[in-house]
Structure 1
Amino acid sequence: MNRRMFMKASMAFATLSGMSGLSTLLARSAWANADIADGVAQPFDFNLLKKHAANLAKKPYGGAAAPLPDTLANLTPQAYNEIAYDPAHALWSNIKGHQLDVQFFHVGMGFKRRIRMFSVDPANREAREIHFRPELFNYNKAHVDTKQLEGKTDLGFAGFRVFKAPDLSSRDIVSFLGASYFRAVDDTYQYGLSARGIAINTFSSTPEEFPDFTAYWFETPKAGDTTFTVYALLDGPSCTGAYKFTIHCEKKQVVMEIENNLYARKDIAQLGIAPMTTMFSCGTNERRVCDTIHPQIHDSDRLAMWTGKGEWICRPLNNPQRLAFNAFEDENPRGFGMLQTDHNFDDYQDVIGWYNKRPSLWVEPVGNWGKGTIDLLEIPTTGETMDNIVCFWNPAETITAGSEHRFSYKLYWSSLPPVHSNLARVYATRTGMGGFPEGWAPGEHYPDVWARRFAVDFIGGDLNAAAPKGITPVIDISSGTIKQVEILYVQPFNGYRILFDWYPDTPSTEAVNMRMYLRTGSETLSETWLYQYFPPPPDKRNYVDDRQMHA
């Protein structure tokens, strides 16, 4: 279990009782170890699920999760971690030669939503429910009073995780847990950032909502399959949804093909499609809270965007001192994602979080998404225990009660995205005090004029070939003045560093938006670097000489 598995408890509850074609799977048959699905067979397909989600949106929202038995509601995180699913009862353990298997998370602690699980026979399109029973779990030292759980087949489960051969019991590669959150790994087996089924009113005048996946249907794969399909029902105060996940568990990455069908119960001010949440505490460009043994602490270091017009954009992440929201307009985006581009252990020195192993997440829209914005929310944090970065696609169309919407896309959980530009790309962004030549410091030899220095490193592309012709940085800023621009070749990473100092021209502390790319003549050489800098107040714009000199 990861440190942030406990962050988002389920926030809504609705039953599936009364749904047409999928109703009331509560009758039980004899249970055998060979098949943990013990419910009565009922017809199931994606069209039935979509019809049910549409009908559910016409009814009032069911409200908060029902109370759990005291022995589960009062669990500590440590006790909850002690509860383990019994691999002998994994969903597909009865398939000889199976490459994939599924285990379920126990409800308890902050995970109060009782999620229903179904096994689907793809041959006859019939589903049978998997009811909760204590014998599916090993409680170890959790000190759970299992007598309080006897006969409570309606407890359901909190979520599920997926395992891949040859390790079908101890190292999972996909996890769905809490509200509509889910994650996957690459070949490092290290979880990092999370995705969500939907984001609603993340940054708007109305409170943010966290709809839940309230039921899952698992298609039984063939023995040699490394791809499986799971369907999900989403339910929340403002919308419902029917989801289809086709999940490819490949050798070096996990790829998810997602189709969502959304049905609005209410008007929605801000709808987030393909949302992802990550953590950025400090890095090469932001050192404010890095007073630890770790040079950097982050799950992701940048937002990358490939626009509908073909422009490649790098936006380094910030840990701002106050909440920051940005919306980047686009039409039919080709892709975007949160990337972890630095995989060097020496840059983190972390043997607990293993940030150098964390995957990137890339969104590839399927079909035309039309006009909208890629929204980025950055929340101040003082450490590494909170996901403080949120990103998603916000369609321009108005989301009104009774409307229906469909989006298809792919998610790539991998070290780096599956696509990249042939242009030079941003290698790193660094900031520090400026106003004096490199190699010197403010003081007696140079005026004590406050400025902020930026160093943006570019690698790859045609930089080396273009150098004899001249490399020109094209820099735009929303306020202030740029001085001391330098272009330096840096042999250790075989790239170019662009140095410049930013000087304020007002006492304002409002964000300064910066934009830069490289060109030679009229030819573009690099992707576009975007940055947002928050100047300190005027009384903090000085250099402090804290040397103690004694005779």
Structure 2
Amino acid sequence: MFFGLLSAPVSAFDFHDVEHRARQLANQSFKKPDVTLPQELRSLDSEHYSQIHYKKERILWRDAKLPFEVDFYPPGWHFDLPVRINEVTAQGVREIHFNPKDFDYGTNKVDLDKLHGPGFAGLRIRYPVNSTTRKDEVLSFLGASYFRALGKDQRYGLSARGLAIDTALGTGEEFPRFVEFWLLRPQASDKRLIIYGLLDSPRATGAYRFVLQPGVDTVMDVSARLYLRSTVGKLGLAPLTSMFYFGLGQHPEKDDFRPAVHDSDGLSIHMGNDQWIWRPLVNPKRLLVTSFSTTHPLGFGLMQRQRDFSDYEDPVLRYELRPSAWVEPKGNWGAGRVELVQIPTPDETNDNIVAYWVPDKLPALKTAYDFSYRILWQKDKGTRPPELWVAQTLLGRGYTHTSDGSISLAIDFEGKLSGKDSVESKPEGLVSVDANGKLLEQKLIHNEATGGWRLTLRLQRLDANKPVELRASLRSGDKGISEIWSYILPPD
């Protein structure tokens, strides 16, 4: 706790104060908070937890008519560990204390006398992005180090995290969490909000600075300094977490009237050598971990490229409005890999997709490790290559007059070509298949309906118990004119 800062002027509080606390924690043994919530809160399910709301008259900064407003999540359901929240003003640093009477509990019966000092579960920020007369929820921190944001006309979907440790390793994953936040009180003309966060876990601590700028694309600039208490097997920076149940490239095992159900449909990577790669997501039958090695990555993200209501036919969940999240590294991230983890899920209630950056060289124990990046929460104009990009991937059984058990794939490339690379000079498809597949046929045609190009492939899998890895792209002459479609066909 920053006892010495409680009466300090705002100019005396900055990232270094949070960093000092993170360094102190790294040199101490990890201590998990000892908090026991009443049974009526611990036993809540998602539906009943969502009935609990912070009372409007208690919302931070509402009376001051500032551009941003803040309200808080109560403890309960999975969220039983306390988060301290502070406001930083010209007068100093003030802790915002949890008061159970500040919440409306809906139909839940809660004995308020049992709720003394459990702390908040998280916070959410509001700002007018869709209307000048209403402040919309644009950012939420809730659970471990998870946060998610929204731009104009978006609905919540995928999440980001402060840090991932040992994801998809047999030793089990560790989930660091934000234990304290500091909110810098904005001015009446401010269009951005600064938040500091302190992260803690058994093997890592960290200081974070978030600069939130809501808009059509909501932008978050993240600066972090990490300290490792002890050795980790894998460090995942700028992690993104999403859901893929089924889609155009993978049909559902159960009957479902919807054509697709997912928060993201692909991983996009802008490699350090300026190549663009698109990996369509799948819902595998067993854990699937793949990676893309590069140096000085230019960006990566879990993207939602299917943007029509007819792609999903779900008027309640509105998957076409779920944002993409694009990560742009700042500074020199060095050598490493973008890793994609895909986990089997039986339905759409589980987040089963994770992507993050893994540096080749882990930081030394109890030594400062700095990194920074920007996240763009996008919808209509998601980041993609300047020329042709993959609009969709279709999968089915190969059509022949006699069944041969072959598999067909159709990859639609869209975008605009310039000069000599226009429609008049037909591109050429470049396709590679690994040793477990045999390419039987490939064809490239101009798609008059979209103005793009469709590349169709027909192949045989040699061993049904093993995956097949494929790559495809388009070129004109000796010049590549599309991103690289990189696909894993899971075991049958």
TM-score bucket (shorter structure): over 0.9
* 1:291–1:204 Cα change, 3 Å: same
Structure 2, unaligned stretches of length 5 or more? Answer: none
DSSP-derived class of the 1:493 partner:
coil
Answer yes or no: is the 8 Å Cα contact 1:307–1:335 preserved in 2.
Answer: yes
2:487 corresponds in structure 1 to: 531
State yes or no: 1:493 paired with 2:464. Answer: no
Aligned to 2:59: 90
AA partner of residue 426 (structure 2): G
1:105-130 deviation digits (Å, cap 9, x = unpaired):
11112111111110001x46x21101
8 A contact 1:330–1:373 mirrored in 2: yes
Correspondence for 1:138? 104
> Does the 8 Å contact 1:340/1:416 carry over to 2?
no
**C-alpha contact 1:40 1:128 (8 A) present in aligned 2:** no
Contact 1:435 1:450 (C-alpha < 8 Å) held by counterparts: no
Matched residue type, 2:112: T
Amino acid in structure 1 at the alignment position of 2:450: F
Would the alpha carbon gap of residues 246 and 339 (structure 1) be closer, same or farther in structure 2, given more than 3 Å must change? same
> Which residue of 2 is the match for residue 159 of structure 1?
122
Instruction: In structure 1, give the amino acid aligned to 2:373.
Output: Y
Q: Which amino acid aligns with 2:54?
A: Y
SS in 1 for 2:50: helix
Q: Is the 8 A contact 1:111 1:158 kept in 2?
A: yes
Q: Which residue of 2 aligns with 1:458?
A: 413
State the shift of 1:490 in Å: 1.8
How much identity, in percent, do the aligned residues show?
36
| 1:186 matched residue in structure 2 | 151
Letter of the structure 2 residue corresponding to residue 388 of structure 1 = N
In 2, the alpha carbon distance for the partners of 1:80 and 1:64 equals: 22
* Counterpart among 392, 395, 398 of residue 356 in structure 2: 392
The answer for the alignment partner of 1:518 in structure 2 is 474
5 Å matches for 1:359-508? 359-416=323-380, 419-434=383-398, 436=400, 445-446=401-402, 448-462=403-417, 465-479=421-435, 480-504=437-461, 506-507=462-463
| Per-residue CA distance 1:394-413 (angstroms, 9 max, x = gap) | 11112443232111000001
Confirm or deny that 1:353 pairs with 2:354: no
Partner of 2:141: 176
Aligned to 1:29: none
Partner of 1:109: 77
Residues 451 and 404 of structure 1: CA distance in aligned 2, closer, same or farther (over 3 Å): same
- 2:36 pairs with one of 62, 67, 76: 67
Secondary structure of 2:258 counterpart:
coil
1:207 matches 2:172 = yes
Tell me the residue number matched to 1:235: 200
**What's the TM-score once normalised by structure 2's chain length?**
0.94
Q: Which amino acid aligns with 1:488?
A: I
Amino acid at match of 2:172: P
The aligned counterpart of 1:4 is none
Deviation at 1:519, TM superposition (A): 1.0
SS in structure 2 of the partner of residue 155 of structure 1: coil
SS at match of 1:320: coil
Partners of 1:363 and 1:409 within 8 A in 2:
yes
Please give the TM-score of this superposition, normalised by the length of structure 1: 0.84
The AA in structure 1 aligned to 2:479 is E
Q: Is 477-486 or 451-460 further displaced after alignment?
A: 477-486
User: 1:21 Cα deviation (Å)?
Assistant: 3.7
Q: How many residues align?
A: 487
Letter in 2 for 1:531: Y
**Cα distance change of structure 1 residues 239 and 131 upon mapping to structure 2, 3 Å threshold:** same
More strand by share: 2
**1:167–1:197 CA distance, 2 compared to 1 (3 A):** farther
Give me the whole-angstrom Cα distance separating, in 2, the residues matched to 1:394 and 1:367: 16
The CA deviation at 1:389 is: 0.3
Match of residue 291 from structure 1: 255
Give the Cα–Cα distance (whole angstroms) in 1 for the partners of residues 227 and 261 of structure 2. 39
- Pair 1:81 & 2:42 matched: no
**How far apart in 1 are the matches of 2:381 and 2:297?**
15
After TM superposition, give the deviation of residue 20 of structure 1 in Å.
6.8
How far 1:89 sits from its partner (Å)? 1.3
Instruction: Give distance in 1, aligned partners of 2:237 and 2:133.
Output: 32
* Coordinate RMSD, CA, aligned: 2.1
Distance 2:426 2:240 in 1: 40
Q: CA deviation at 1:467?
A: 4.2
The CA deviation at 1:421 is 2.1
Task: Return closer, same or farther for 1:529/1:290 CA change in 2, 3 Å cut-off.
Answer: farther
Equivalent-residue separation in structure 2 for 1:532 and 1:417 (angstroms):
26
Give, in whole Å, the separation in 2 of the partners of 1:168 and 1:88.
17
Q: Classify the secondary structure of the residue corresponding to 1:215.
A: strand
Aligned residues of 2:326 and 2:383 also touching (Cα < 8 A): no
Residues 1:281 and 2:245 aligned together? yes
The separation in 1 between residues aligned to 2:297 and 2:483, in whole angstroms, is 16
